Structure 1
Amino acid sequence: MALGPRLDLRQSQSLVMTPQLQQAIKLLQLSNMELDTFIDQELERNPLLEREDSDRADTPDAPEPEQAAPTSEPEPMLDGQTQGAAEDSMDVDYDNLYNNDSASDQPDSEAFGQWSASGGRHDFDDGDTNFDQMMAESISLRDHLVAQLNMDIADPADRLIGLHLIEMLDETGYLSGDIAEIAGKLDCPVETVEGVLKRVQRFDPAGIFARSLKECLALQLIEKNRLDPAMAALLDNLEMLARRDMAGLIKVCGIDSEDLAEMIGEIKALDPKPALRFDHVVTHTVVPDVLMRRTPDGAWLVELNSDTLPRVLVNSRYYAKVSGHSLSREEKTYLSERYQSANWLVKSLHQRATTILKVATELVRQQDAFFRLGVQHLKPLVLRDIAGAISMHESTVSRVTSNKYIATPRGIYELKYFFTQAIGSADGGDAHSAESVRHRIKSLIDAEGKDVLSDDRLVEILKGEGIDIARRTVAKYREGMNIPSSVQRRREKALGG
């Protein structure tokens, strides 16, 4: 057989990920707040894009852009129909080609905002301003401890040891390292470091510089002058308290049940993580991306949250004006690319709105019983059910429901909340949602009286209600909700009685 080069003609199909398609996929899985950040970046890069302001109509010289990305589609009803024509769906599986990074980091301007809100000055005669409280809220744990260190410890060597101890604190206020390390670094006896440690352990907040939970609680009890022998014995047997072994604690502490209940109450009033009160973490309020409400005829109306959805315009007049001038080849290429990019972004935003509304509307339709009757009627649902109903790919539904929230009459929920596993029916009927089963287990335990329900008894009750569930599943759901076992609950009830 002769070997030699030859030409063959073959025909095949392949998927090409263009930059525009990658951008459309990225926009689809961004929340409205992340989308707003992305739009700000595009506005900086593209001179042909601009954000529509509410006062545009009041400006007579403002240019009239040609295209706009709508803040929301026409409000669809639960039959899934909309008044606008939908673009081609982006229902291709590109999970392995895109990472879910989002440029949502913003420069921290909180301090500048507070300063500028007061006009850049402070009126020190204003009696309504509590500057002590303002400083207390902004001070960090390290600054708070260093201030106490400078006041209480005069010796420079001991103060240096104290600074090293402060640097070894973790975010909860516990000493994360070994004091022998400090002694080795500073070439001083370990006893000297231990002496400084005992002094800084008296700093505020009480319980700081502890090396264990037991020591943290003991330091706070010493501050309250409540560390007696019985309380010390209780701290030595915290694992028995975790197991709710009240009979064993009464024996080792040498007290009665009434004294034990009082001591446990004191333990619960202590702070096991004393440093968390200083290093505040800003809690971001969940802003819903989709809104739903009931119409007068009882149907559900679904719409996008236009308050958080940016409206972007393509300034075609500016493009035509600039194109009319004599430009170099590079300038013409740049202007053409920016114009095409702006138009594609507007179309992508329109497609994103259409796709989110389709998925959210179908979710509301299939979970109608939950919104009307409660969590016990939550229907088991998977991505495939929604994708098949609206003729989209499962990956598209997955992207739409990621980091998206919907405001309902029953509260704000993440869209992924409505996808739950199915638990079979004991009588051959419809399957039950895992979330509704968890809710039923919690309801049964909350309603139990003196007779504590074991996991086996819960299985019997649920099977009597038509829910086919195994005992290990009940135990898994109970532990997932941080509900103690029947033995522990029985001990607690006996102690409370």
Structure 2
Amino acid sequence: MRMSFGQEMRMAQKQVLAPRMIQSMEILQLPMMALEERIEQEIQNNETLELDEPEGDNQSTAVADGGSSQDGAPDPSPERTVDERPLVVDQDHANQADFERSYDWSNEYPESDDDRSRPSSGRIDEASDRYLDAMANMEERPETLFHHLHEQLSNYELGPEDRLAAEKVIYNLDANGYLPMPLEGLVELEPAVMTAPEEALHGTASAAIAPVPLDGPAKQLERLERGLAVVQGMEPAGVGARDLRECLLLQIRSSLPHARQLQRLVSDHLEDLAANRLPLIARKTGLSIEEIETLRRDLHMLQPKPGARFTVPYVPVVKPDVHVEQLPDGIWKVRLEDVNLPNLRISPLYREMLAAPGTPPETREYIKRKINSAQWLIEAIEQRRSTLLKTAQAIVDHQTRFLADGPESIEPLKMQQIADRIGMHVTTVSRAVDDKWLQTPRGLVALRRFFVGGTVSADGDEVAWDTVRIKLQEIIQAESKDAPLSDDDLVDELGKGGITVARRTVTKYRKAMDIPSSRQRRDWKLATPPRVGQSPPVVDGDRPVTSGEET
């Protein structure tokens, strides 16, 4: 194969987003809390951007597209560059100390640069108050499973090797308290220095675990078995188990009533119990259905995830971006929830510096670049306000039945419909609703929640999939417990209500709502027993599940 080098010219068209457009898209996609943080960060990084803290009724604020004049009239020359625009300053109410100086910038600017960049005392006090409030409201770090077990381990009288083996088991437990690997896998782990996962994450690691003595694999496995037995004797009961069956058996104490029957049920019939094959269990054990139900209630008192209570669930803190309310004439009106969003302006002081003839060229270029960046941010925030308001109002206009009657009345809606209505691209709508929340009379609702697909009813009307799910749940709740409806029966029941869906759709939604199959929903205590001389019916578990049956 012969290789050669050469040059060629090629013409091509490629769309390149300007930095200004990229910033606008980023600002549009930010939720309210993230936008507040972004503004605070920009204020810290850009000394020409400052909060508009009104000291009088006529104090002006820099706005997008060239700002406004002092009397509120628009600037007649918005196409002028930043350094050619008139200063947006109210001479009657501005701080006189800033304007009575002698602006010999070539001499004064180097010495006073830090003073101009320093935030005002009001901004410092405000930031300090927010910091103190956050510290006062900060939760104490909850106890972790690792620390809980490690504290118990300190009360055991163990030799160094056995203590080290127990620590190794504790270190490798997952968040639910299970040991997700066999002990042979722990033997193969490198005997490196180990710290608690939480401590390593927060950088507060204390004493490290010493290296494991270099014994043979058989000796290490023996020590790990003793260490595992120690951990499995700790609280919470069930910790250190390697599967659900072992976890439940560890929690069945001999002092519990029916302890031996519970142990037998878990050891030999756990899968049948999970599948609600109670008649099969009854025939194998000789217990009655009522006795098995009693044992199952006792098992429900056990904890299948003993370590879960030490896991703090992530609860996102959201602030509504938009608020909707119904006016007296019945119209739903949207307004932005941005009263706490600070008003921004370009610093009049730096505008004066930019216009001053004595400002050094490199300083002028630096200020101009910073002012342009600040102006872009102000315009992007204003564009976000306009786009979000239009998008939210269009969504509300389409989903008035949801607001008035509840989630069961939601209507099918696609983002393309909203994009066509407000005259914007669908990707802009997607960014506008991303992680945004609407405050309604029915609580906080994510804007994306209003976009749902649907099907066509027997009357030709569109029905949202959320409505189908709600109807499906209502039908299952009203079914007979001794003869629950199969997925085929659920399809027929939905059809009676004018909703035509496929069986696989019903199965998908049933599983998504964590609703078990009909065989698992059946209450065997209510089932009709066979007549005298009649063979008992074939029940679930006597035969394998064939394709097409519910699972």
Question: Is this contact kept in 1: 2:178–2:241, CA < 8 A?
Answer: yes
Could you tell me which residue of structure 2 aligns to residue 219 of structure 1?
250
Secondary structure at 2:334's aligned position in 1? strand
Question: Is this contact kept in 1: 2:458–2:500, CA < 8 A?
Answer: yes
Alpha-carbon separation, structure 2, partners of 1:470 and 1:181: 46
How far the C-alpha of 1:226 sits from its partner, in A, is 5.4
1:305-454 correspondence runs (5 A):
305-307=337-339, 310-323=341-354, 324=356, 326-427=358-459, 429-450=460-481, 451-454=483-486
Identical-pair percentage: 35
Amino acid at match of 1:67: A
1:237-276 correspondence runs (5 A):
237-276=269-308
Could you tell me which residue of structure 2 aligns to residue 490 of structure 1?
522
50, 61, 66: which one pairs with 1:66? 61
Q: In the alignment, is residue 146 of structure 1 matched against residue 177 of structure 2?
A: no
Alpha-carbon separation, structure 2, partners of 1:409 and 1:179: 55
Amino acid at match of 2:35: L
Q: Does the C-alpha gap of structure 1 residues 251 and 286 become closer, same or farther in structure 2, counting only changes over 3 Å? A: farther
Q: In the alignment, is residue 191 of structure 1 matched against residue 222 of structure 2?
A: yes
Question: Is this contact kept in 2: 1:240–1:249, CA < 8 A?
Answer: yes
Amino acid at match of 2:239: I
Q: Does the C-alpha gap of structure 1 residues 338 and 65 become closer, same or farther in structure 2, counting only changes over 3 Å? A: farther
How far the C-alpha of 1:373 sits from its partner, in A, is 2.2
How far the C-alpha of 1:22 sits from its partner, in A, is 0.2
Alpha-carbon separation, structure 2, partners of 1:495 and 1:202: 41
How far the C-alpha of 1:257 sits from its partner, in A, is 2.2
Q: Does the C-alpha gap of structure 1 residues 297 and 255 become closer, same or farther in structure 2, counting only changes over 3 Å? A: same
1:149-164 correspondence runs (5 A):
149-164=153-168
Amino acid at match of 1:162: A
How far the C-alpha of 1:139 sits from its partner, in A, is 2.6
Alpha-carbon separation, structure 2, partners of 1:474 and 1:198: 46
Alpha-carbon separation, structure 1, partners of 2:13 and 2:135: 59
* Structure 1: segments with no counterpart, 5+ residues: 70-108, 119-133
How far the C-alpha of 1:412 sits from its partner, in A, is 1.7
Alpha-carbon separation, structure 2, partners of 1:375 and 1:340: 46
Could you tell me which residue of structure 2 aligns to residue 206 of structure 1?
237
Q: Which deviates more from structure 2 when the two are superposed, residues 230-239 or residues 217-226?
A: 217-226
Question: Is this contact kept in 1: 2:394–2:418, CA < 8 A?
Answer: yes
Q: Encode CA deviations 1:384-431: one digit per residue, 9 max, x unaligned.
A: 11111111111111111111111212222211111111212224x222
Secondary structure at 2:500's aligned position in 1? coil
Could you tell me which residue of structure 1 aligns to residue 25 of structure 2?
25
Q: Does the C-alpha gap of structure 1 residues 164 and 226 become closer, same or farther in structure 2, counting only changes over 3 Å? A: farther
Question: Is this contact kept in 2: 1:175–1:210, CA < 8 A?
Answer: yes
Alpha-carbon separation, structure 2, partners of 1:445 and 1:287: 36
Alpha-carbon separation, structure 1, partners of 2:472 and 2:485: 10
Amino acid at match of 1:190: L
Q: Does the C-alpha gap of structure 1 residues 189 and 47 become closer, same or farther in structure 2, counting only changes over 3 Å? A: closer
Question: Is this contact kept in 1: 2:323–2:336, CA < 8 A?
Answer: yes
How far the C-alpha of 1:363 sits from its partner, in A, is 0.6
Q: Encode CA deviations 1:362-387: one digit per residue, 9 max, x unaligned.
A: 11111112222233321111111111
How far the C-alpha of 1:322 sits from its partner, in A, is 2.8
Alpha-carbon separation, structure 2, partners of 1:453 and 1:409: 36
Q: In the alignment, is residue 229 of structure 1 matched against residue 233 of structure 2?
A: no
Could you tell me which residue of structure 1 aligns to residue 69 of structure 2?
none
RMSD: 3.2
How far the C-alpha of 1:29 sits from its partner, in A, is 1.2
Alpha-carbon separation, structure 2, partners of 1:30 and 1:402: 8
Question: Is this contact kept in 1: 2:33–2:318, CA < 8 A?
Answer: no
Amino acid at match of 1:477: Y
Could you tell me which residue of structure 2 aligns to residue 48 of structure 1?
48
Bigger Rg over Cα: 2
How far the C-alpha of 1:189 sits from its partner, in A, is 4.3
Q: Does the C-alpha gap of structure 1 residues 361 and 174 become closer, same or farther in structure 2, counting only changes over 3 Å? A: same
Could you tell me which residue of structure 2 aligns to residue 479 of structure 1?
511
* Structure 2: segments with no counterpart, 5+ residues: 1-6, 65-127, 192-211, 530-551
Q: Encode CA deviations 1:40-85: one digit per residue, 9 max, x unaligned.
A: 2211211111234xxx44x68x99563258xxxxxxxxxxxxxxxx
Q: Encode CA deviations 1:85-108: one digit per residue, 9 max, x unaligned.
A: xxxxxxxxxxxxxxxxxxxxxxxx
Question: Is this contact kept in 1: 2:49–2:347, CA < 8 A?
Answer: no
Q: Does the C-alpha gap of structure 1 residues 252 and 6 become closer, same or farther in structure 2, counting only changes over 3 Å? A: closer
Secondary structure at 1:274's aligned position in 2? coil
Question: Is this contact kept in 1: 2:433–2:447, CA < 8 A?
Answer: yes
Q: Encode CA deviations 1:291-323: one digit per residue, 9 max, x unaligned.
A: 111112221121111255x22412341223333
How far the C-alpha of 1:270 sits from its partner, in A, is 1.7
Q: Encode CA deviations 1:452-482: one digit per residue, 9 max, x unaligned.
A: 3332232223223222212221222112111
Q: Does the C-alpha gap of structure 1 residues 115 and 202 become closer, same or farther in structure 2, counting only changes over 3 Å? A: farther
Question: Is this contact kept in 1: 2:458–2:499, CA < 8 A?
Answer: yes
More relative contact order, 1 or 2 (CA 8 Å, 6+ apart)? 1
Q: Does the C-alpha gap of structure 1 residues 461 and 396 become closer, same or farther in structure 2, counting only changes over 3 Å? A: same
How far the C-alpha of 1:243 sits from its partner, in A, is 1.0
Q: Does the C-alpha gap of structure 1 residues 363 and 493 become closer, same or farther in structure 2, counting only changes over 3 Å? A: farther
329, 333, 339: which one pairs with 1:301? 333
Amino acid at match of 1:447: A
